A and B are shown apart, each in its own frame.
Chain A
Amino acid sequence: MNIHLGEPVAGDRVVRVKNLNVSFVGPAGRSHHVVKNVSFDLHRGQCLALVGESGSGKSVTARSILGLSGETAVVEADALELDGESLLGRSDSWWRRIRGSRIGYVLQDALVSLDPLRPVGKEIAEPLRLHRRGTRATREAQVLELLERVGVPSPGLRARQRSGELSGGLRQRALIASAIALDPGIVIADEPTTALDVTVQAQVLDVLKEMLEAGTSVIVISHDLAVVAKLADHILVMQDGQIVESGRAEDVLRRPRHPYTQQLVDAVPSEHTKGTRLSLDGPARTRELFPGTRDHTADDGPLLEAHHVVKSFRGPDKVQRTAVDDVSFRLDRRETLGIVGESGSGKSTLARIALALETPDSGRVEFLGRPWTAAPPREQRAVRRRISVVQQDPLSSFDPRWRVSRILVDAIRLGDPVNAHRAEERALELLGAVRLGEQHLDALPLRMSGGQRQRVAIARAIATDPDVIVLDEAVSALDVSVQAQILDLLADLQDQLGVSYLFISHDLGVIHHVSDRVIVMQDGHAVEQGPADQIFSDPQHPYTQKLLESLPRLEYATLREAVSR
């Protein structure tokens, strides 16, 4: 595929990549081709985005520019140039002079990308020390300057703390500070905003934008098209190691030509996607799973109801913290109640209370019209199968030695001890309902992809024919297209089984897509509550307004919809 990006200005090109191929040699001598004939140019002050799912070769492509594609990697290219100098066949010491000084790299997941045993100040000073800039004292001063530049408050204190002591946003900014310490002309940011709260995400995007304005060239790797839309001048869409589409950001997002790009753009949940399908999957067939077991018209009262719930915990520093403060809600049949808020807002505590895993300090919770959290354990166990949970990382909720069949059979027996002899058969039906097949019965969850694991978790959750499923950040760790499939599956299950969802997420787009009603949480308080459309179109509370302002929106996708109509 021949690629032309924008209007190349002579002499302004900082990176040239022509027909880059990267393969890895496996243990058995088998080679695995992960980047295939990738070509692109990066110009000064420009932002290039590499978009695609995990495993599509984005990170490997970016790392070849640093000579860090991996020990077993074989890198071949017609041209691989930095400021006109070839990067091919360079010695290790040559690369070391380039890394950090001319190209800064911000790895994804700042939690593990900073050495947890060292203060972040030392980590930020490392490129300065390695490239012999200044003395120890001047470096210390420079670290403080850098931290200020990326918007870290009280830099003196932060520089002395270790990454584990910093919040996600501060950590990410500290990592950026270490990448830009030597003012490199190029900065590569790998998923710089993943797993960050929306307001923090906005701050990090601002830092990157300032760098672009200052003339730094940026390569951003992301699967979040909304983030890409905010930064990128050009977009390369990668699938299976190949560039399937490339062009100006506006064009790619507004008029995606390749089916894969179209699928990616359509997969982003938002206000506009409500009630529509996000993936290409057809509706799942689950109607036959529980024939005639439930009469939905029988009771119209609320399924799950919380009245003025308060819960506080004593922290390790002996300070009492109120995690949930006077929160009330009701969840009706066939309804999705979205709970949105940033980390530490009390969403998950609320979820644990809804599952009666925590007892509130005051207030009461009723499930199916009877006391729930206050009920004795015997009574709780009797109805426990009617409320189930899907978590963000199902892997940690599966016994690692159990195969899928055992995980499901275990849950099936719990729900229906009478028909236990049919459990194996039933497990297969459940797998079918979540679009997995017989071949997955003997799989170990550890070896499955994130999306498959989440499907198993959902199959387990519906095995007991529940009335309510609590979904705690259930799609937060998934790639956008897998997330789309899971969200579609959840919508089908609700349609066909009449189950209600308590849907907890920090992702406003997801919450808007799935929810009938929404609770916005901040510091343990439900600051705003109401129908989803009303909350998103006319937020009343300043915090909700701030959240929505920080949300990078995929305006191009909106435009595309308008065009296609």
Chain B
Amino acid sequence: MSVVQTSSPLVSPAPAGDTAGRRARVLTRLAGIKLLSSLFVLWGTATVTFVVLAILPGDRATILLNVRSGLTVPRSPAELAPVNREFGFDDSFVTQYLTYFGRLLHGDLGQSYQSGRPVATIIGEQIGPTFVLAFAALLLAWVLTIAWTLLTAGRGPRLRSLGSAGETVTAGLPQYWVGILLLIVFAAQLGWFPVIGGTSPSGTILPVITLAVPLAGFLGQATRTEFDRAIREPFVLSARTRGMGDLEVRWRHVLRHALIPGITLSGWAIGTLLSGAVLVETVFARPGLGAVLVTAVGQKDLAVVSGIVVLVSALYVVINLVVDVVYVAVDPRLRGSL
């Protein structure tokens, strides 16, 4: 049932101090709930990973021995016994779970089947370049999105259709194709960038572009829709009646509204960037988590694979917490509904 909405239910005529105090308490409580639910998600991921490994067909001790020796042969009980003892494969399901979880809490992700080195160390060595790649790509994608939106959204019909055509095309580009194309044109033919760049800054540019361009297309589509809507809002006309110029109206009033859906997507984007990184690292022969994951999967190094899965999901949870904070900073109206 609707009424003439002349006063918002949020209005409280209470004095400022009281409101601020209550708001802080509510915020703290909400943040607490959020944190607890994040911990729950982390626990869930770790548990599922463990269960999947434990019930996977094939004897883990056999796999481990075969991975280490590079053979695929049946193993005798005499061979398996020391391995089972070392890794605790003989223990009851509950004991194994508790041991696994206890180690996890200390940051111990187990040992690689292949090399016997701690998984945490292996990941730690390789995570840096992947991080740099993923976050640089996210940053670049946002820069491209904002520039493209400011340039083409909410303009005349011709610029608008050019803008959204650009987004549709880039959003649909497969990363491996973009990567190879960039490699051929800018590295092999023009020689502007090294073909195998490692983790050097000049070698990072092409991989970052490869990941950022399709993502910018996605973010751009969401941002444009909201931008086109917001620029027709009366508060924009209000700003113009005060003497604000077109560029400033877009930058100061409209863009902030337009960012909101893109921010939601950014949490999801980190996930696709990390998986995209696997591909791109292979194409550009770049060290990183991707290379580790690909090798581990190929070799059935289950300890490393599950370590990466747990780590990536932890990262995902953290990123989404950050996204929630950014969200409220951009749209303060959400403070009450976090």
Contact = CB atoms under 8 A, between A and B. Distances in A.
Interface stretch (A105-113, A513-521, A557-565): A105-113
Given A117-B330, A157-B16, A178-B238, A164 B4 contact: no
B9 A316 contact: yes
Interface stretch (B66-74, B197-205, B239-247, B270-278): B239-247
B106 interface: no
Interface in B221-239: 233-235, 237-239
Given A107-B234, A117-B257, A101 B241 contact: no
Contacts, number: 133
B4 A476 contact: yes
Residue of B16, B238, B240, B246 contacting most chain A CB atoms (<10 Å): B238
Given A111-B5, A112-B233, A317-B12, A96 B243 contact: yes
A498 B12 CA distance: 44
Interface stretch (A9-17, A40-48, A166-174): A166-174
Residue of B5, B239, B245, B256 contacting most chain A CB atoms (<10 Å): B239
Contacts of A66: 241
A472 B2 contact: yes
A175 interface: yes
Contacts of B56: none
Interface string B1-20: 11111111111100010000
A104 interface: yes
Residue of A100, A117, A127, A197 contacting most chain B CB atoms (<10 Å): A117
B8 A164 contact: yes
A127 B248 CA distance: 13
B11 A104 contact: no
A130 B1 CA distance: 42
A392 B4 contact: yes
A100 B241 contact: yes
Contacts of B245: 92-93, 96
Contacts of A99: 240-243
A165 B8 contact: yes
B22 interface: yes
Interface string B276-292: 00000000000000000
B331 interface: yes
Given A116-B235, A157-B16, A165-B8, A105 B241 contact: yes
Interface string A350-387: 01100001000000000000000000000000000000
A74 to B, nearest CB: 15
Residue of A165, A200, A396 contacting most chain B CB atoms (<10 Å): A165
A114 interface: yes
Interface in A20-44: 27
Interface string A506-526: 100000000000000000000
Contacts of A317: 12, 22
Given A116-B235, A117-B331, A315 B1 contact: no
A343 B235 contact: no
Size category of the A interface is 35 or more
Interface in A85-140: 92-93, 95-101, 103-105, 107-109, 111-117, 123, 126-127, 130-131
Given A117-B333, A166-B8, A168-B6, A357 B1 contact: yes
Contacts of A103: 241
A286 to B, nearest CB: 26
B336 interface: yes
A195 B3 CA distance: 10
B300 interface: no
A165 B10 contact: yes
A545 to B, nearest CB: 21
A180 B333 CA distance: 27
B253 interface: yes
B332 interface: yes
A112 B235 contact: yes
Given A165-B8, A165-B11, A343-B7, A115 B2 contact: no
Contacts of A165: 8, 10-11
Contacts of A393: 2
A107 B241 contact: yes
A473 B234 contact: no
16 contacts: A68-B241, A71-B156, A92-B246, A99-B242, A100-B243, A107-B237, A112-B235, A113-B237, A116-B333, A123-B238, A127-B242, A164-B333, A343-B5, A343-B6, A348-B3, A351-B1
Given A71-B156, A127-B242, 11 more contacts: A96-B245, A105-B241, A112-B233, A112-B234, A165-B11, A166-B11, A168-B5, A342-B6, A343-B4, A357-B1, A389-B1
